[in-house]
Structure 1
Amino acid sequence: MSARTALWTSAAGVTLVAVLGVLVAQGVVWPNRILAARHDVRGVDVSHYQGEIDWDVLAAQDLDFAWIKATEGASHTDPRFAASWASATETDLLVGAYHFMSFESPGADQAAHLAAEVPVTPGTLPPVIDLELYGSYFENQPAPGEVHAILDPLVAGIEEHYGAAPIVYATEEAYDLYLADRYPDLPIWIRSVAWAPRLSDGRDWTVWQYSNRDRLPGYGGVEPYIDMNVFAGTREELQALALR
């Protein structure tokens, strides 16, 4: 191979990698979609960042379920929750609410806040606790004991009020720090957008968030992308988790 050919080949390879990187960043190419396609039951999770949602349009995108952000900490309510909840529950989607857990307020207070904002509605999916690091906690991770002291009463409060165990959403980092080898009766929703999830303690996941770079018709907020998820089972099995 001549020096000129080698140089051209190297430049072409760099260009291809750069183009592929841009396509991945924009959500045009997403390797996990191939792996996630093995699962038939898929859905989204949304918050006010998706803005006003036309739930009839969104529900028509071959979706089975949606979890909607309701609350955060002990006092914040997502400004789009009430409107999205009212409209989403009129579609054929299986719908649930999720709570972003704060490390800065007691778990019992957070459970009470969720209960005040999300009605106990038979047929809806169980509430989700979103457990992930945020803000300064990326660098200063709370000790497991501190997190469990919040999470335990939050779980107990949800179970008492809604009559069902919550699902816990976690990043892989948060799972390893706070959930591995604990809470065996709680379904796990794992975020793994770069590869297929494999929980460090060998546990099976219930929901997998495989992409945070999809685009679907039906919403128009400041966030152009929407999170995509699959359920490890049939729609009937997901329906069986619904509140009674």
Structure 2
Amino acid sequence: MSADAAGVASYPMVEEADATGVVAAVYADLLEGMPFVPSLFKSLALCPGYLVLAHSQAAPVLSTDEFGSAAQQLVTSVRDVAEPPADADVRAGLAGFAGPLSRMLLLAAGLRLALDGELDLPSAPGHAHAPRPVQPRQPAPSPADAPAPRSYGEICAALETPIVNTVWRSLAARGLLEPAWAALRPQVEASRPAADHLQARASEVARGLPWRVAASPAALEQAGVTDARPGMAAVLDAYRATLPRVLVLVASSADAG
């Protein structure tokens, strides 16, 4: 982990503008179906070899109806946990992230199961396409560039996480972070039990999804990145804890409009 100018401990990320080689290839592929590269992938990109394996496992399932339905069920299960912000612009800014947060939560859970060798499913080789330009339609500012280091520190402290998710950075870039956090911060403590339950539920759901397992211990060994396993496990665990804590706060805005 590193610390930003405000002294906030955080996981470094490889932003779109800095992506090269296989990282750029994975990002370009992701951007064919997403407006931006999710923070989870940017953190996994610290080990390009593992990122390739994670992407190879994620790509076949992310676009399936089964995965999308499972992710939506997670959102629905926590939509009444928090009160949505009163400000319509803030609600709209939050609403679009409920789906991506739930999808990345399922992905992080599935990758963690694979990393532990707990998915008894067909294997798939890990490979990335040739590098292409990385051109996000809605690039999220990096934690260092977005003008909200103090708010980021408060968010990380309240959620007990080293991760500044894309949702917060996007809100900061639009001038909506302060009112959003002012509305959500008082609900963090009360929403924690639901977040913990959601984390456990996500692992159960992920176990039943139709993965082609590409990020197993054997695959890491074959790719020569076995030494990255503890670090990638720590990153995945951080996201598995953080994503539910954010999702329980955001889900109500997806329905409130």
> TM-score, structure 1 length as denominator?
0.25
The structure with the greater share of residues assigned to strand is 1
> TM-score, structure 2 length as denominator?
0.24
The structure with the greater share of residues assigned to helix is 2
Higher relative contact order (CA 8 A, sep 6+): 2
